[in-house]
């Protein structure tokens, strides 16, 4: 509550205590702005900070928005249309961050379903079931999803985290939304490889597969010891044709056709 009712009953001093408390909560939460739906609350917080309320001067000032203003921004209306310059507390910094977030999400939407990412981020249950998270103490799959939504795509694909995923599909099998995280990490690995962020330990095996179509060779000595005949190369030419088609195509749909 902004304290306007207290102000009418007990004077400005009592309402300022509530204002200070709310501003302290906003500061502790590291929020970017304060959002209200009530005109009295807007005036109390916006004008109260601009007038030099103790909480505002002693800590920080936060832009104040009506909830309807944020909805309008999300629908594509400009800050000029909304009269943002009429706010007593400057909102330019918040709007710059808002635009940056829109750019991040537009880039993210090129590779991921944003709605599914948000569903995944709101859960986080996979952290307890992921075998990689158990083995790697500082790896939490849900934090990767939160990082993507926070605009950290470039940082994530440049780091080791995408390669921690084993693609075992445990997350998919146990996901109540039938999403899982494996598809997220599969895409992250693809992006990392395209941009040259490829662990050296995997590079040799990858190049071998591209050139020969196999990741390893049979142990002929063991087969001889067991009296088994040598394995004749089979399917390598066909696989080479498929690989050439995949690597030269722009989309998987072309390969399927």
- Give the range with max mean pLDDT: 18-32, 115-129, 146-160: 146-160
Average pLDDT over residues 174-194: 89
Which candidate, 37, 21, 40, places its Cα nearest to that of 29? 21
Q: Is 175 helix (H, G, I), strand (E, B) or coil?
A: coil
Which candidate, 89, 76, 97, 90, places its Cα nearest to that of 32? 97
Write phi, then psi, for 137 (nearest 5 degrees): -65, -35
Angle between helices 92-108 and 141-149 (to 10 degrees): 120
| Mean pLDDT estimate for the chain | 82
Do the beta carbons of residue 132 and residue 86 sit within 8 Å? Answer: no
Helix-strand-coil split of the chain, %, nearest 5: 60, 0, 35
Q: Residue 86 gets which letter from DSSP?
A: G
- Secondary element (H or E) of residue 16: helix 12-28
Kindly tell me if the per-residue pLDDT of 168 is higher than 70.
Answer: yes
pLDDT tens readout for residues 190-218: 999 888 888 887 877 777 777 777 777 77
- Give the range with max mean pLDDT: 44-48, 106-110, 124-128, 195-199: 106-110
Do the beta carbons of residue 66 and residue 34 sit within 8 Å? Answer: no
Rounded CA separation 4/2 (Å): 6
**Helices first, then strands: H and E counts in the chain:** 17, 2
- The rounded Cα 195 to chain-centroid distance in angstroms is 19
Q: Which of 57-66, 130-139, 166-175, 185-194 has the lowest mean pLDDT?
A: 57-66
Rounded CA separation 111/194 (Å): 13
pLDDT tens readout for residues 72-89: 999 989 999 999 999 999
Which candidate, 183, 145, 191, 146, places its Cα nearest to that of 167? 183
pLDDT of 53 reads 53
Which candidate, 86, 99, 37, 91, places its Cα nearest to that of 62? 91
pLDDT of 249 reads 58
Rounded CA separation 222/228 (Å): 9
pLDDT of 13 reads 60
């Amino acid at each position: 509550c902004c304290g306007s009712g207290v102000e009418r009953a007990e004077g400005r001093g009592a309402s300022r205590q509530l204002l200070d408390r709310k501003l302290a909560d906003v500061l502790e939460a590291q929020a970017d702005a304060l959002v209200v739906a009530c005109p009295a609350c807007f005036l109390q917080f916006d004008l109260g900070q601009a007038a030099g309320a103790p909480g505002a001067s002693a800590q920080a000032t936060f832009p104040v928005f009506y909830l309807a203003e944020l909805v309008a921004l999300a629908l594509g209306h400009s800050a000029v249309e909304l009269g943002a310059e009429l706010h007593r507390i400057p909102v330019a910094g918040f709007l710059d961050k808002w635009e940056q977030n829109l750019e991040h999400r537009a880039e993210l939407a090129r590779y991921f379903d944003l709605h599914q990412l948000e569903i995944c981020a709101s859960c986080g249950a996979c952290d307890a079931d992921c075998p990689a998270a158990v083995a790697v103490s500082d790896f939490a799959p849900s934090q990767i999803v939160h990082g993507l939504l926070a605009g950290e795509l470039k940082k994530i694909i440049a780091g080791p985290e995408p390669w921690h995923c084993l693609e075992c599909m445990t997350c998919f099998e146990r996901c109540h939304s039938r999403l899982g995280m494996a598809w997220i990490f599969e895409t992250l690995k693809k992006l990392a490889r395209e941009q040259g962020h490829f662990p050296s330990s995997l590079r040799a095996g990858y190049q071998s597969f591209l050139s020969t179509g196999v990741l390893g060779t049979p142990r002929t000595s063991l087969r001889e010891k067991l009296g088994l005949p040598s394995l004749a190369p089979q399917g390598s030419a066909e696989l080479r044709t498929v690989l050439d088609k995949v690597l030269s195509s722009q989309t998987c749909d072309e390969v399927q056709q």
